[in-house]
Structure 1
Amino acid sequence: MKTNLVGVLLLIALITSCQTEPSISPTTTTGPEPVPFRMTRDSVLTGTYLGIPIGEGAEPVYTTIQSLQQTKGVTYLNVVSNIFSDLAKLKDRIPLYQYIILDQQQGTDSGVQITIENKAVKSIYLNSGVKLTQWPVLLMANAAVRVGDPIGTLYDKLAVIKGMTTYSNKFERISLQTKNLSTMYDQGMSQSPQWYFMYKTGPDQQDEVQVHFTQGKVSKIAINHYTPY
């Protein structure tokens, strides 16, 4: 009888040891969902919008947009198709911009994005999203474009880099994309078909204003209004 009892206890122990832990559903947490926006669009073909008259030339329009920094909180101006291949012609123009992209004719992940703020290089990224402290990475620090470099040194460094076979193809497309509104007008901007900027119109609301040009004159102003659903 005692032998049978021991056997039963061993069997129970064996069965218990083979049981798996009960499954526990993992606890998941989610952050707030992105706020969905609704866009409505207006177009101005005659008259004036934000002080910008239809038919006005590029230079006075630039002056008006500069004034919107104080009245509307505009902080930037993007210039469409402001693309060049001759670096030598950009020596005096580069300091007027705050966002510059260098790349080959066919866009690449290794294209270089340079952001300028307070008259110095603020950041350097590749198109792939990789953040750099200098470009090219393998050059000596005094020859490469580095975060913190004064804007006044940027052109000379780029000119030297362009002369290097390994990097010369990154100067096939030089995009002066975002204009620094605290600097003077750039005459080359008049060749762009469109400028655009955004500003807040209320809590979670903003307008994107696209100024279209034909032969250097304002031909249309398109406004995209973004509001939450």
Structure 2
Amino acid sequence: MKSLFKTTALTVFAAMGANSAATFAIPIESVITGADMTGIEVEVAFLGGGSETAVWGATSTDASVPEGEGFAGAAAGTGWSLSQQGFTLGGNSLIDNSVLGLWSFSNFSTSIFSGFQVRGLPGSIVFDILGPVGPEGTPGSDIGRAFLADPLFPGISDVSYSYSDPFSGPDLFSTLDVSFAQGFAPQSQLSFLADTDSVAAVPVPATLLSMALGLGLLLVDRRRRVTPANTNAQA
């Protein structure tokens, strides 16, 4: 089901001088299903205040279902759930032209929700927003797809979304926020598409700190070794 990890090189400029640069590789897997997103967090906000968070888990890994739709996962709380099945890039079925890769947010409680947030990085997942045609953005991330709500949802005009916590510009973000201007009523369901990738979640600041510290130690050691030789040459 999964593709092999692709490697992308990200160039990061450290604060060690205008011409200083360090390059490190982040493995990216661009073919992801709902079953691959174990560990991501979903937080639902109630219209009257308060929230509830649930952790994602795999719910199906049935390879016999055509077009990858047997691979699914979900997070569920008190009277609500967010699920996804198939490849997150989505598309149309070659069998019956149905939509593949759908996420589904359901409210089967008596509460009204103001929105929900999906935090991918706890499960090493990021959202890939560039595509489904055009440049891939971060090398190795392949094409992606930003949030696209089902046009048949009754309150489609009230749905808004945003991406935050950038992982790698211009396309990879670790957080998706979905809001409902009029609230998400009981017994409602929203289907949407949103592509994800799997990444090695290495915090960039920590990586830069390690590289800077290592370079600093090398420079100090080099100065200590060179200074005595220069002193003897001048004497």
TM-score strictly above 0.5:
no
Higher strand share: 2
Scaled by the length of structure 1, the TM-score of the pair is 0.29
Q: Considering Cα pairs closer than 8 Å and 6+ residues apart, tell me whether 1 or 2 has the greater RCO.
A: 1
Scaled by the length of structure 2, the TM-score of the pair is 0.28
Which one has the largest radius of gyration?
Answer: 1
